[in-house]
């Protein structure tokens, strides 16, 4: 089996693989040697500065990020479900409204929406008082709803038509079939993408800084920025970054597990002719 | 046994420009078993789906047990609850256990209390020989078992009529017998059944009457042994020749 060069195909593949490891190791060594570690440590890993961030980074910043995200997600999910049902409605104007909404909010940066809510609503409706929490919930939810509506619509459409026919043939009304049979199955299908949406909202909650904040209202990103100016070290940002990862990585893992569990659709209906 | 339970008159159904049913008249008496045979595209499934208005007829009248389903004032959900339907693709609710599949409509549509619904469900599971599967999820069952659960689900609503839309066409050949066995038992118990099928042997042995449909019309109708055994119409003859001996009659 030996080739012309005296090396078999398998041996050549092995050498190629080893050389890739060597290349990677070389790059790591070069970077490690050229860096000024003392400087980097002071800038990013100042343990004293890191210790100073506790407990506020957890009890204030992380807590606020979680609260804003959950509020925004709950509002967005509700609005998204309504938009998805409108999108699938047999009444054309509902479909148009929903489509316009979705395209509008998916096309805008979330930042603009935050600005619009923060300054636009008090301007447009003088005298209305929008609490900061509500404003954040609205801004996050309005944007999230546009994405979630499309996800939910896809999920509902992925439930085989035979499921509705079976439900109708047993005497369920259209609405009853939707609530009892279709939506529960749709949510199983869209659980993974919905978890991803939750991750995106967690990160978007950082835009809450646009609405201004007292110390007690700071979420992670704002907290990090504040501490950055105070300590002249990037360490607080690193701590804050780790806090985000503590939320997002488990969610990401959860999403992957759910995908494995329900990804194949989880339906038992075989293709039937019409 | 003489009282008509299904009366279909002048039934037409078109999908856009495509006319699938071109005027069907059919009367089924209580307790009768009627099998509908015919080539694919002949409109037999559409006809069956018009009996519980899963397809809305373009013209004509459908009366089930004295209720005119095609009447605009008819409470169609209520009427459908009394007509059981079994689909080719089983269509069990994928997110519910077998027991919940059987109880969900009883509770939400008929308003039966949970305990009563479960009792009815277990009775019907026993009838189809699957008592031990009450806690299983549909995905854990074989096709034949799923279809038997689907029959039990329809029976749990205490229907007046049962419609079967090619109930064995999606099954592996060795699983067909179990499902046909359940259907035969049902027929013996006196259930009124309308069955669209390709199982000629079943039609011959169980049906009181056989309809042969082609091109949107009922071409021939009569006792099973006459329509299948000694068809009068040429179209029926050539269809049966192809079905009963496909190897020697390809393209006939």
**DSSP secondary structure code for residue B194 in this structure:** E
- Tell me whether residue A152 is in a domain: yes
Which chain A residue has its CA at the smallest distance from B77's CA? Answer: A171
> Confidence class of residue A230 from pLDDT cuts 50, 70 and 90?
confident
Bigger pLDDT: A128 vs A110: A110
- Tell me whether residue A79 is in a domain: yes
CATH number where A92 lies = 1.10.3720.10
Tens digits of residue pLDDT in B219-235: 999 999 999 999 999 99
Q: How far is the alpha carbon of B96 from chain A, nearest alpha carbon, in Å?
A: 9
The whole-angstrom separation of Cα B111 and Cα B235 is 48
Bigger pLDDT: A226 vs B179: B179
> Confidence class of residue A42 from pLDDT cuts 50, 70 and 90?
confident
- The answer to whether the CB atoms of A180 and B139 lie below 8 A apart is no
CA torsion through residues A182, A184, A185, A188, sign: positive
Tens digits of residue pLDDT in B41-50: 899 999 999 9
What is the pLDDT averaged over residues A191-196?
91
- pLDDT exceeding 70 applies to what percent of chain B? 98
- Contacts for B44 with CB less than 8 Å, ≥ 6 apart: B36, B37, B38, B196, B211, B213
Q: Would you state the pLDDT for residue A266?
A: 40
Q: Would you state the pLDDT for residue B104?
A: 96
- Tell me whether residue A112 is in a domain: yes
- pLDDT exceeding 90 applies to what percent of chain A? 56
Q: Write out the E strands in chain B.
A: 4-15, 18-29, 33-37, 59-64, 67-68, 83-86, 161-165, 192-196, 209-214, 217-222
- pLDDT exceeding 70 applies to what percent of chain A? 94
Q: Would you state the pLDDT for residue B102?
A: 97
Interface of A with B in 255-274 (CB under 8 A): 266-274
Q: How many residue pairs bridge chain A and chain B with CB atoms within 8 Å of each other?
A: 95
Which chain A residue has its CA at the smallest distance from B52's CA? Answer: A169
- Tell me whether residue A169 is in a domain: yes
Contact B207, B33 (CB under 8 A): yes
Q: Would you state the pLDDT for residue A15?
A: 93
Q: Which domain does A198 fall in, by range?
A: 54-273
> Confidence class of residue A50 from pLDDT cuts 50, 70 and 90?
confident
- The answer to whether the CB atoms of B105 and A266 lie below 8 A apart is no
Q: Would you state the pLDDT for residue A55?
A: 87
Q: How many domains does chain A contain in total?
A: 1
Bigger pLDDT: A30 vs A43: A30
Tens digits of residue pLDDT in B144-178: 999 999 999 999 999 999 999 999 999 999 999 99
- Contacts for B190 with CB less than 8 Å, ≥ 6 apart: B31
- Tell me whether residue A97 is in a domain: yes
- Tell me whether residue A262 is in a domain: yes
Tens digits of residue pLDDT in A14-26: 999 999 999 999 9
B78 CB near a chain A CB, below 8 Å? yes
> Confidence class of residue B252 from pLDDT cuts 50, 70 and 90?
very low
Examine the pLDDT at A223 and tell me if it is beyond 90: no
Contact B239, B38 (CB under 8 A): yes
Q: How far is the alpha carbon of B230 from chain A, nearest alpha carbon, in Å?
A: 30
The whole-angstrom separation of Cα B106 and Cα B121 is 9
| 3-state SS, residue B249 | coil
Whether the complex's predicted ipTM is more than 0.85 is answered with yes
Q: Would you state the pLDDT for residue A270?
A: 35
- Tell me whether residue A148 is in a domain: yes
The rounded mean pLDDT for chain A is 87
Tens digits of residue pLDDT in A150-173: 999 999 999 999 999 999 999 999
Examine the pLDDT at B40 and tell me if it is beyond 70: yes
- Tell me whether residue A103 is in a domain: yes
What is the pLDDT averaged over residues A227-255?
89
Contact residues, chain A, for B117 at CB < 8 Å: none
Alpha helix stretches (DSSP H) within chain A: 9-34, 37-44, 47-52, 56, 63-87, 92-107, 110-115, 121-124, 132-158, 161-169, 174-177, 183-204, 220-231, 235-262
Contact residues, chain A, for B139 at CB < 8 Å: 266-268
> Confidence class of residue A179 from pLDDT cuts 50, 70 and 90?
very high
Contact residues, chain B, for A163 at CB < 8 Å: 91, 93-94
Examine the pLDDT at B103 and tell me if it is beyond 60: yes
Tens digits of residue pLDDT in B62-91: 999 999 999 989 999 999 999 999 999 999
Of residues B91, B95, B105, nearest to A171 (C-beta): B105
A169 CB near a chain B CB, below 8 Å? yes
The rounded mean pLDDT for chain B is 93
> Confidence class of residue B191 from pLDDT cuts 50, 70 and 90?
very high
């Amino acid at each position: 089996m030996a080739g012309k060069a005296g090396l078999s195909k398998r041996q050549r593949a092995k050498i190629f693989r080893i050389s890739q490891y060597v290349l990677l190791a070389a790059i790591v060594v070069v970077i490690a040697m050229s860096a000024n570690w003392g400087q980097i440590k002071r800038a990013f890993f100042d343990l004293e500065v890191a210790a100073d961030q506790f407990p506020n980074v957890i009890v204030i910043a992380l807590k606020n990020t979680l609260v804003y995200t959950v509020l925004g997600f709950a509002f967005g999910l509700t609005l998204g479900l309504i938009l998805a049902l409108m999108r699938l409605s047999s009444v054309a104007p509902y479909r148009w409204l929903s489509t316009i909404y979705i395209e509008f909010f998916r096309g805008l940066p979330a930042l603009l929406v935050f600005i619009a809510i923060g300054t636009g609503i008090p301007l447009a409706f003088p005298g209305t008082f929008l609490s900061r929490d509500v404003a954040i919930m609205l801004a996050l939810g309005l944007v999230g709803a546009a994405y979630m509506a499309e996800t939910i619509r896809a999920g509902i459409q992925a439930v085989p038509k035979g499921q509705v026919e079976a439900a109708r043939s047993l005497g369920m009304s259209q609405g009853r079939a939707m609530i009892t049979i279709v939506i529960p199955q749709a949510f199983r299908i869209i659980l993974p993408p919905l978890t991803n949406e939750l991750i995106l909202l967690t990160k978007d909650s950082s835009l809450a800084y646009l609405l201004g904040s007292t110390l007690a209202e700071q979420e992670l990103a704002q907290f990090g920025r504040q501490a950055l100016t105070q300590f002249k070290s990037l360490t607080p940002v690193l701590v804050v970054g780790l806090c985000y990862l503590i939320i997002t990585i488990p969610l990401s893992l959860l999403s992957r597990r759910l995908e494995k569990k329900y990804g194949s659709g989880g339906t038992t209906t075989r293709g039937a002719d019409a | 046994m003489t009282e008509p339970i299904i009366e279909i008159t002048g039934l037409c159904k078109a999908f856009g420009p495509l006319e699938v049913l071109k005027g069907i008249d059919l009367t089924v008496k209580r307790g009768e078993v009627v099998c509908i045979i015919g080539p694919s595209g002949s409109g037999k499934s559409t006809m069956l789906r018009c009996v519980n208005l899963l397809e809305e007829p373009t013209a004509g009248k459908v009366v089930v047990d004295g209720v005119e389903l095609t009447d605009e004032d008819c409470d169609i959900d209520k009427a459908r609850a009394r007509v059981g339907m079994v689909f080719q693709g089983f269509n069990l609710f994928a997110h519910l256990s077998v027991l919940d599949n059987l109880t969900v409509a009883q509770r939400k549509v008929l308003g039966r209390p949970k305990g009563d619904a479960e009792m009815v469900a277990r009775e019907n599971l026993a009838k189809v020989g699957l008592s031990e599967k009450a806690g299983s999820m549909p995905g854990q069952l074989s096709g034949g078992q799923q279809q038997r659960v689907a029959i039990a689900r329809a029976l749990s609503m205490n229907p007046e009529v049962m419609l079967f839309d090619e109930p064995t066409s999606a099954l592996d050949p060795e699983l067909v017998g179990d499902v046909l066995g359940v259907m035969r038992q049902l027929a013996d118990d006196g259930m009124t059944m309308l069955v669209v099928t390709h199982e000629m042997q079943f039609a011959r042995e169980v049906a009181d009457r056989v309809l042969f449909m082609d091109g949107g019309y009922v071409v021939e109708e009569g006792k099973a042994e006459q329509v299948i055994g000694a068809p009068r119409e040429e179209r029926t003859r050539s269809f049966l020749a192809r079905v009963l001996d496909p190897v020697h009659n390809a393209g006939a």
